[in-house]
Structure 1
């Protein structure tokens, strides 16, 4: 079996899969961040996801239990799906902080635009600085976690990392002797 060097579909599939895993981990981190913050600030859970679901999909949970369950399902699905964006960012070659910043901008920027559009939050220019800071914190936790997990998954096999380390060391030695 011959392995193609330019396997674009394979790279896309791999990036999407790694992104989904990163999205799950990031959603877990964001959920934990929100739970801790709500305990500290005594803030009630947001119903923004339900407002958007009601407006866009016509979903109307009948009971408080159904509202909580649907809100959690949407939160986890949405967060996991945004991991795909991190995978696509990874395909550009961006890694680390630059990739996390692009991902953060996409995720938080979408929330800032879409939630007010669906009357699920106030426009950002009408929000209190404390509320904006809390939102930035949680989305930052999401983007940083997604980036760390994606980059770890994208680091390659142990053999590949070993070979890359050897190649880097050789490259450093060659540069020293060429001076």
Structure 2
């Protein structure tokens, strides 16, 4: 039984504000070191390591020699999967939370967008990765591979775009939008 004196997965997701907070926390996975600059840009012609003593992890990434023991690789993997798990939790828990239907659809669309972006990052970096579209309590519950589903999930992404706002108030800038639609 979960402690009643502190928030946990069984007691937290009760209000619209709780879901919004959980969704906002999901964005945090995109700020992890390595996801964009170190894995993406460092290997391009756009950047270089000015200090050859910068560290073995950076050198390995720059030279395409990094492996699972490289802290940049493992951090990128872990951060994306933590974000995917967070998005899956939001999608799972939102059904029982009372809120306006359009807001619920927007939050689900936002969570699916974030999950798809994190899978894009993983596939771009690691190739065919484990696919997790439900809340996982045990890592052995993993059910498939990512490339098998990316095209199908793109259809879901298109549906998500329809429920996301075109623009946001200044206090919400940085959240996913549907972008400006052609009329």
Same-fold call, TM cutoff 0.5: no
TM-score (norm 2): 0.26
**TM-score, normalising length: structure 1:** 0.26
Pick 1 or 2: higher relative contact order, CA cutoff 8 A, min separation 6: 1
Higher Rg of the two aligned structures: 1
